[in-house]
């Protein structure tokens, strides 16, 4: 997958870059769905659903444009730790396809997927390994009742929290994916800038300027 390197200067170039991002997402979408949508990941695994594959592609793109403190990755060989919160079999299968079986790398780092059954398990991992335990955490809408527990467990760590629940930002989260009302099967990134900075994480300026796909919240 190619990365977007275009500098933004005019509305026209923003449109061009957004189209490129859409092409990247669509390419991910087609690449993932074609060989896998009709069969399970492994024995006793769920069949990967199209909407979860699309979410996984959007999540993958967001992680490519996010930036962590330099200390987070002390060497080029340091792996990227992506956590999955709770029980979400379909999304877990989609992410494994996106990051492991397709051998995709985030910012030239190998992605390690790690499942956390509950917030207490995440907290213990962070106490043991610090920031090496998790760099980004996907919290599905099925964990809505536990949002506060996950957010509290991640406090004081440079962890990008992302959810597909529309109320995640209102619950204190940093980033969410919500359906794009104008384009079927597409999503909008909702980013709370202040909370993101508190976690010492930021998205590139190029990414934040894609107004058709990114909505920033500063209050």
8 Å CB contact between 94 and 55? yes
Q: Is residue 6 part of a domain?
A: no
The CATH number of the domain where 88 resides is what?
3.40.50.2300
pLDDT of residue 103: 61
Q: Is residue 161 part of a domain?
A: yes
Q: Is residue 5 part of a domain?
A: no
pLDDT band of residue 2 (cuts 50, 70, 90) is: very low
Percent of residues, the chain, with pLDDT higher than 90: 48
Residue 97 has pLDDT above 60, yes or no: yes
- 124-166 tens-digit pLDDT: 999 988 778 999 999 999 999 999 999 999 999 999 999 999 9
pLDDT band of residue 101 (cuts 50, 70, 90) is: low
**Single pTM value for the model:** 0.75
Q: How many domains does the chain have?
A: 1
Q: Is residue 2 part of a domain?
A: no
Residue 47 has pLDDT above 70, yes or no: no
Range of the domain at 145: 11-217
Q: Is residue 185 part of a domain?
A: yes
pLDDT of residue 162: 96
- Could you tell me which residues come within 8 angstroms of residue 110 by beta carbon, excluding any fewer than 6 positions away? 79, 80
Q: What is the mean pLDDT of the chain?
A: 78
Query: Which range, of 169-173, 185-189, 215-219, averages the lowest pLDDT?
Result: 215-219
Q: Is residue 27 part of a domain?
A: yes
The whole-angstrom separation of Cα 33 and Cα 51 is 10
Residue 34 has pLDDT above 50, yes or no: no
* Helix/strand/coil percentages in the chain, nearest 5: 45, 20, 35
Q: Measure the CA angle with vertex 78, ends 191 and 129; round to 5°.
A: 80
pLDDT of residue 185: 84
Indicate the pairing of strand 175-179 with strand 202-203: unpaired
User: E-assigned strands of the chain?
Assistant: 66-67, 80-85, 105-106, 109-116, 136-139, 160-163, 175-179, 187-192, 202-203, 214-217
Q: What is the DSSP string of 109-153?
A: EEEEEEEESSHHHHHHHHHHHGGGG-SEEEE-GGGGGGHHHHHHH
Q: Is residue 32 part of a domain?
A: yes
Percent of residues, the chain, with pLDDT higher than 70: 75
Q: Is residue 35 part of a domain?
A: yes
Indicate the pairing of strand 214-217 with strand 187-192: parallel
The whole-angstrom separation of Cα 159 and Cα 200 is 9
Query: Which range, of 50-54, 62-66, 211-215, averages the lowest pLDDT?
Result: 50-54
């Amino acid at each position: 997958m190619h990365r977007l390197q275009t500098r933004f200067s005019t509305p026209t170039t923003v449109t061009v870059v957004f189209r490129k991002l859409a092409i990247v997402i669509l390419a991910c979408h087609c690449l993932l769905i074609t060989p896998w949508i009709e069969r399970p990941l492994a024995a006793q695994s769920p069949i990967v659903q199209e909407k979860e594959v699309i979410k996984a592609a959007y999540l993958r793109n967001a992680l490519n444009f996010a930036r962590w403190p330099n200390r987070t990755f002390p060497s080029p060989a340091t792996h990227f730790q992506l956590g999955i919160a709770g029980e979400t079999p379909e999304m877990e299968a989609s992410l494994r396809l996106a990051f492991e079986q397709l051998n995709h790398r985030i910012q030239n780092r190998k992605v390690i997927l790690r499942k956390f059954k509950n917030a207490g398990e995440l907290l213990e991992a962070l106490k043991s390994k610090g920031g090496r335990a998790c760099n980004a955490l996907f919290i599905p809408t099925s964990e809505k009742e536990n949002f506060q527990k996950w957010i509290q467990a991640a406090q004081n760590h440079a962890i990008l929290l992302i959810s597909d629940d529309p109320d995640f930002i209102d619950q204190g989260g940093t980033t969410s994916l919500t359906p794009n009302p104008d384009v079927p099967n597409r999503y909008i990134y909702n980013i709370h800038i202040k909370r993101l900075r508190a976690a010492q994480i930021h998205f590139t300026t190029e990414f934040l300027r894609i107004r058709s796909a990114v909505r920033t919240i500063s209050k």
